[in-house]
C-alpha cells in the first residue's frame, strides 16, 4: 500500500520547450497537476525536476507552482544530482510516486536510480509522456520489470486516504470526479 506518511511525489521534467513534442503532453500535465494537488491536500511533499533548464526552459507554470522544491539537474537520473538527499530531507520517506517526461529517458533513469537506492517506487502512468508511444510503452514495461509498480491516479489517492473517514476525503473525491486524464 502507498502510505501518505512515508511518501513523496516527484514530477520529472514537465518543461515548456519539451512538452510540445510529447505525445498527449497536455494529458500528462493535467495528471501531474492532479497528483500534486491531492498530494498537497494530504500533506505529501512534491518535488519537481528540470533537465538543463537553460536549454529546455523551466517547467510549465501549472506544474512549477505545485512543487515544494525544484531540482535543477544535468544527469538524466535525478538521483545523480541529489534527488535522494531532497527526499531524505522531506522526512526520510521511502516511497515515491513519480511521473514525468520523457518516460524512456529521464523518468526511466530516475526510477532506476530510486530503485537502486532501495526506495519503493510507484509510477503514475497517466502523468508519463514521450515523443513516441512505443518509447513510453517500453519504458513503462521496463520500469515494472525492474521493480516499480505502475499505478493509476485513483489508486494513489484512495491508498493515501485509506478510509472515507479521512478529513480530506470529500476534497479528494471532488478532484477524482473532475479528472480529465
List, for residues 56-84, the tens digit of each pLDDT value. 999 999 999 999 999 999 999 999 999 99
* Residue 174, number of CB atoms within 10 A of its CB: 10
- Taking the alpha carbons at both ends of the chain, their separation in whole angstroms is 23
Query: Could you tell me the fold of the domain covering 4-178?
Result: Rossmann fold (3.40.50)
What pLDDT shows up at residue 123?
98
Q: 92: pLDDT confidence band, cut at 50, 70 and 90?
A: low
Closest CA to 43 of 178, 131, 168, 137: 168
Q: Which residues pair with 71 in a beta bridge?
A: 49
Q: Hunting for cell 538524466 — which residue is that?
A: 76
Give yes or no for residue 104 having a pLDDT over 70. Answer: yes
- Percent of the chain at pLDDT > 90 equals 91
- Angstrom distance (rounded) from CA 122 to CA 38: 16
Q: What does the H/E/C string look like for the chain?
A: CCCHHHEEEEEECCECCCHHHCCCHHHHHHHHHHHHHHHHHHCCCEEEEEECHHHHCCECHHHHCCCCEEEEECCCCHHHHCHHHHHHHCCCCCEEEEEEECHHHHHHHHHHHHHHCCCEEEEEHHHCECCCHHHHHHHHHHHHHHCCEEECHHHHHHHHHCCCCCCCHHHHHHHHHHCCC
What pLDDT shows up at residue 89?
87
Give yes or no for residue 181 having a pLDDT over 70. Answer: no
Give yes or no for residue 180 having a pLDDT over 90. Answer: no
The chain-wide mean pLDDT, for the chain, equals 95
Q: How many CA atoms lie within 13 A of 58 on its CB side?
A: 9
Give yes or no for residue 151 having a pLDDT over 80. Answer: yes
Domains of the chain: which residue ranges? 4-178
Q: 93: pLDDT confidence band, cut at 50, 70 and 90?
A: confident
Amino acid at each position: 500500500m502507498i502510505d501518505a506518511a512515508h511518501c513523496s511525489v516527484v514530477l520529472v521534467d514537465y518543461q515548456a520547450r519539451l512538452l510540445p513534442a510529447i505525445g498527449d503532453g497536455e494529458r500528462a500535465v493535467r495528471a501531474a497537476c492532479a497528483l500534486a494537488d491531492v498530494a498537497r491536500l494530504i500533506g505529501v511533499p512534491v518535488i519537481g525536476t528540470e533537465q538543463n533548464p537553460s536549454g529546455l526552459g523551466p517547467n510549465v507554470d501549472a506544474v512549477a507552482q505545485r512543487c515544494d522544491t525544484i531540482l535543477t539537474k544535468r544527469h538524466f537520473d535525478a538521483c545523480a544530482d541529489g534527488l535522494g538527499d531532497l527526499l531524505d530531507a522531506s522526512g526520510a520517506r521511502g516511497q515515491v510516486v513519480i511521473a514525468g517526461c520523457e518516460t524512456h529517458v529521464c523518468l526511466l533513469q530516475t526510477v532506476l536510480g530510486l530503485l537502486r537506492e532501495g526506495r519503493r517506487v510507484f509510477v503514475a502512468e497517466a502523468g508519463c509522456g514521450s515523443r513516441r508511444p512505443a518509447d513510453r510503452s517500453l519504458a513503462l514495461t521496463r520500469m515494472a520489470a525492474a521493480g516499480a509498480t505502475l499505478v493509476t491516479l485513483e489508486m494513489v489517492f484512495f491508498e493515501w486516504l485509506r478510509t472515507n473517514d479521512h478529513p480530506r476525503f470529500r476534497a479528494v473525491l471532488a478532484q477524482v470526479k473532475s479528472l480529465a486524464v
